[in-house]
Amino acid sequence: SYELTQPPSVSVSPGQTATITCSGDALSKQFGYWYQRKPGQAPVVVIYKDNERPSGIPDRFSGSSSGTTVTLTISGVQAEDEAEYHCQSADISGTYVTFGGGTRLTVL
Amino acid sequence: QVQLLQSGAEVRKPGASVKVSCKASGYNFIDYYIHWVRQAPGQGLEWMGWINPNSGATEYAQKFQGRVTMTGDTSISTAYMEVRSMTSDDTATYYCHAVLESTGTPYFYVDVWGKGTTVTVSS
């Protein structure tokens, strides 16, 4: 099965920039998506199609793609951004979806 | 507004089955795929498969093939996901998920999740 690789954890101080990467071979052909999940809540998309931000998501969230890696950047991190972040994409055929293992963002 | 309303929490014994429902509202149910995703305690999100409500076509993650069935009832805009022969490893919160994206103008992109259904498998 197709795998996406994320770091298990990232820690930053308030106001700093958090960067979370996600690597997978098919990311050179398929879009990457980023979901924020807080305890007891359903996931919320913060970036779709590599770098698009849904309405209602603060502009401190941004996404980028290069080769087989997509990156989520949170500029000026706030305490409320503490959550798990999961990348998601599809295999090369576009049929099967997969999630990365998730990255726990801790705001110090 | 666009919503996915899931059925309530379930408790099952090992070897049993469970069927979770997901009722769509606020959009045309047959126009967008429904995905099912689960999260076990302390684990990441795990994609299980999708159903095309219009045709009934399905695709399942290899791990779930033969043990999971996804169906839909277009008359009541509801998708279902059944897991059979459950073990304690199936204890998780199960989510239905849909992405509504326009193919023309005006452009829209709506990503909607159900609130989740907690399924506990315990003897």
Cβ contacts of B95 on chain A, cutoff 8 Å: 42-43
Question: Does A96 sit within 8 Å of B45, measured CB to CB?
Answer: no
Tens of pLDDT along B2-36? 999 999 999 999 999 999 999 999 999 999 999 99
Tens of pLDDT along B70-114? 999 999 999 999 999 999 999 999 999 999 998 888 899 999 999
CB-based contact (8 Å) between A48 and chain B? Answer: yes
For residue A82, the 8-state DSSP code is: -
CB-based contact (8 Å) between A30 and chain B? Answer: no
Which residue of chain A comes nearest to B96, CA vs CA? A42
Distance of CA A19 to the CA centre of its chain: 9
Tens of pLDDT along B48-72? 999 999 999 999 999 999 999 999 9
Among B99, B88, B97, residue whose Cα is nearest residue B116: B97
Cα-based angle B24, A101, B40 (whole degrees, multiple of 5): 60
Question: Does B111 sit within 8 Å of A54, measured CB to CB?
Answer: yes
Cβ contacts of A52 on chain B, cutoff 8 Å: 109
> Beta-carbon neighbour count of residue B85 at 10 Å?
11
CB-based contact (8 Å) between A7 and chain B? Answer: no
